[in-house]
Chain A
């Protein structure tokens, strides 16, 4: 079974400072990895995803994440945050394709990290 751990439930950060949100996963098979953002009382929006290839993935709004297979991590970073980045961020994992079973469409989410950007 898969699991996703987001180590920080809340991260306060000053505007224009860098931020890193930590995500670790456990899975018995190779995985695909995702980061989503949720603004208050809204649905989720995809920030970026790792499917294969380069382990450094760039997403929208200046975010990037690095896949580290040996440490089973997929940490999210932004070098300089804005007030508008105040939101909740979710890391998610999906199994790789396994023959006839399209397991890749089922996501397991972490508990979320709430980012509060202060002026």
Chain B
């Protein structure tokens, strides 16, 4: 089955630690995205990548980092510089072109800082 997988489903982190969230897709999509979801605030874009080895900051990139070494993978690292990292994190992917195609979403990772 084609789709997007995110792991782990739940993640607990102590203050001061970096953690990495995994996102893998087998849809052969060029573009991948990371969103943060907080209650009542919708989804906010952290980083996005439209091609391998290239990525751009979204609206709330501070305290986060990404890499895009393979087409299928777009891991997100939440660093200790992120002041309020407890949230639900969603990864998405889409094809690219002149007309925006549907973004397909993974099931999410819920990060809690203890």
B76: min CB distance to chain A, Å = 15
Enumerate chain B interface residues (CB-CB to A < 8 A): 4, 31, 35, 40-45, 48, 50, 58, 90, 92, 94, 96-103, 105-108, 110
Give Cα A97 to B98, complex, Å. 5
- Contact flags (1/0) for A43-82 with B, using CB distance below 8 Å? 1111001010000000000000000000000000000000
Interface string of A1-26 (1 = CB under 8 A from B): 00010100100000000000000000
Residues of chain B within 8 A of A111, CB atoms compared: 40-42
For the complex formed, measure the closest distance between the CB of B36 and the CB atoms of chain A, giving whole angstroms: 11
Output the nearest chain B residue to A32 by Cβ-Cβ distance: B100
Closest 7 pairs (CB-CB, A-B): A43-B105, A104-B100, A109-B42, A109-B43, A97-B98, A111-B42, A44-B105
Instruction: Please determine whether B108 and A43 come into contact, CB atoms closer than 8 angstroms.
Output: yes
Check B94–A105 contact: CB distance below 8 A.
yes
Known: A49-B102, A109-B35, A109-B43. 9 other contacts (CB 8 A): A34-B102, A43-B90, A43-B106, A43-B107, A90-B42, A105-B48, A105-B100, A106-B45, A106-B58
Interface size on A, residues (CB 8 A): 27
- A94 close to B (CB within 8 Å): yes
* A46 in contact with B102 (CB, 8 Å): yes
Whether B42 lies near A94 (C-beta < 8 A) is no
| Contact between A94 and B100, CB atoms less than 8 A apart | yes
- Interchain nearest-CB distance for A101 vs B (Å): 10
- State the CA gap A9–B42 with chains docked (Å): 10
- Beta-carbon contact of A105 and B108 below 8 Å: no
Known: A32-B100, A104-B100, A105-B31. A9 touches B90 (CB 8 A): no
Once bound together, how far apart are the Cα atoms of A45 and B35, in whole Å? 14
With A43-B90, A43-B105, A46-B102 known to touch, is A102 a contact of B97 (CB < 8 Å)? Answer: yes
CB proximity of B55 to chain A, nearest CB, Å:
12
Closest chain B CB from A116 CB (angstroms): 15
